[in-house]
Amino acid sequence: MFYKESKNLLNQKEINFIKDIILGNSFPWYYHQASTTKECPVYTHTLIHRYDINEEKPVINSNVFSFFEKIILKFCKKHGIKIKTFTRATLNSISFNKKKKVVAHVDHNFKHKVIMIYLNNTDGETIVYDKRFDNKNSLLLSHKMKILKTIKPELYKIVCWDGSYYHAATYPKDNNRRVVFVATFI
């Protein structure tokens, strides 16, 4: 499976922006009852809404997208990854949940890559399963799958993988929050 990661790529100015603005007390978050299913509530700040790539163009929903875009371009340049267009970008915040993990899912029904930055110290891992999108179900509720990769969250770590593999976030076991930047691109 395609997978790349980088640690320590962010400079001090970028780290300060995340600490002071993104995690600061004047940055808005919006409650969504369901990230994947009803039992998986999430607080989000949408940067680019999902859209139909065949008929629409991406609409930037937040001023902070350009901040993250620069970081992603820096990451992609380092790893030789090409970006044609972003297909979704958001900031997500989740906390302890008895469900333990989000339902396994893929973000889109077309070939894409997922990129993620862990924005705080947390224990909610990202799990990538061995099963690829079956061209029918973007959510997999009861299928048996093996774990292909467990991505441990580390502060400011950037990871990128093939988005056609079903994946899921795990909720923090401790009473902490887990804040990440997630984007998809083709």
Q: Are 180 and 116 in contact (CB under 8 A)?
A: yes
Is 142 near other proteins (CB under 8 A)?
Answer: no
Is 23 near other proteins (CB under 8 A)?
Answer: yes
Q: How far is the CB of 62 from other proteins (least distance, A)?
A: 12
Q: How far is the CB of 15 from other proteins (least distance, A)?
A: 17
Selected binder of other proteins within 24, 66, 78, 85 (CB under 8 A): 24
Selected binder of other proteins within 12, 26, 63, 135 (CB under 8 A): 26
Say which amino acid occupies 152.
K
Q: How far is the CB of 148 from other proteins (least distance, A)?
A: 28
Nearer to other proteins, 44 or 137 (CB): 44
Q: How far is the CB of 67 from other proteins (least distance, A)?
A: 17
Backbone φ, ψ for residue 68 (5° rounding)? -70, -35
In degrees, to the nearest 5, what angle opens at C-alpha 141 toward C-alphas 168 and 2? 35
Is 12 near other proteins (CB under 8 A)?
Answer: no
Backbone φ, ψ for residue 153 (5° rounding)? -70, 135
Is 2 near other proteins (CB under 8 A)?
Answer: no
Selected binder of other proteins within 13, 30, 52, 80 (CB under 8 A): 30
Is 29 near other proteins (CB under 8 A)?
Answer: yes
Q: How many Å apart are CA 83 and CA 104, to the nearest integer? A: 25
Selected binder of other proteins within 6, 36, 37, 41 (CB under 8 A): 41
Instruction: Characterise 173 by phi-psi region: left (phi > 0), alpha (psi -120 to 50), beta (else).
Output: alpha
Near other proteins in 55-114, by CB under 8 A: 93, 95-98
In degrees, to the nearest 5, what angle opens at C-alpha 99 toward C-alphas 151 and 114? 35
Nearest CA-CA partner of 165 in 111, 115, 117, 118:
111
Partners of 78 in the β-ladder: none
Q: How many Å apart are CA 35 and CA 109, to the nearest integer? A: 17
Residues that bind other proteins (CB under 8 A): 23-33, 41, 43, 93, 95-98, 121, 173-177
